[in-house]
């Protein structure tokens, strides 16, 4: 059976905590907490905009989440510092296991797509800078339909854009909300549990498989096939 894989980008392929090194030069005592809050608010703003049907692209969510985080911690970053942090979102690094894992899957002739809340141009730039864009047949962006994961419409959009069906398409994500969204939409899904401290939402909707890194995915797919 042919398999098509949809890879979440931010937090799954790309380490969003890569901004910590830049933050450490600005606010060394708060860098880790600041980065975590920024990421949490970025996702929260996407969820809220999706529910309210007040769409702005993911870059706007990222900017507004940064502004919130600055106010929350009372950090008066300069305009140049804010611009540097936002520009850093296009040069975030891939996780160490990503290139090897994608290489195994590509060599097995599995179709690979990047599937993201981010705009197509932003994701293309990010993946190119991380050196992994060539692994993918294409980028499918939720921006095309002006909403965000886990709206069921985005998973239908992925199936249409990748010319695949829910029976042969998998989502690969480290975000439990994304995994639950994909399974609820009829796809299968692999949860990338990068830390033993990560907890999957106890909704009674479980991932098809759980892996510790992308270099484990090919082996799991072989077992299921």
Residues carrying an active site annotation: 8
State both tokens at 122.
């932003």
State both tokens at 143.
């921006």
Residues 216, 225: Cα–Cα separation, whole Å: 15
Q: Write the CA distances from 129 to 3, 81, 82, 190, integer angstroms.
A: 27, 21, 20, 25
In this structure, are residues 117 and 58 in contact, taking their beta carbons and an 8 Å threshold? yes
Query: Tokens 């939409």 map to which residue?
Result: 185
């Amino acid at each position: 059976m042919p398999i098509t894989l949809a890879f979440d980008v931010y937090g799954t392929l790309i380490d969003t905590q890569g901004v910590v090194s830049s933050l450490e030069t600005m606010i060394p005592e708060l860098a880790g907490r600041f980065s975590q809050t920024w990421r949490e608010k970025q996702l929260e703003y996407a969820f809220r905009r999706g529910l309210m049907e007040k769409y702005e692209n993911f870059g706007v969510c990222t900017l507004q989440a940064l502004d919130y985080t600055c106010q929350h911690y009372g950090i008066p970053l300069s305009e140049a510092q804010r611009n540097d942090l936002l520009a850093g979102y296009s040069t975030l690094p891939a996780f160490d296991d990503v290139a090897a894992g994608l290489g195994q899957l590509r060599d097995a002739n599995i179709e690979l797509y990047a599937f993201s809340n981010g705009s197509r141009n932003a994701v293309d730039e990010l993946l190119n800078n991380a050196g992994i864009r060539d692994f993918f047949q294409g980028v499918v962006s939720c921006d095309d339909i002006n909403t965000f994961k886990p709206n069921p419409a985005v998973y239908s959009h992925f199936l249409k854009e990748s010319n695949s069906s829910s029976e042969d398409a998998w989502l690969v994500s480290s975000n439990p909300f994304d995994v639950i969204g994909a399974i609820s939409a009829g796809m299968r899904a692999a949860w990338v549990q990068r830390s033993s401290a990560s907890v999957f939402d106890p909704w009674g909707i479980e991932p098809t498989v759980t892996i510790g890194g992308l270099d484990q995915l090919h082996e799991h797919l072989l077992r299921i096939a």
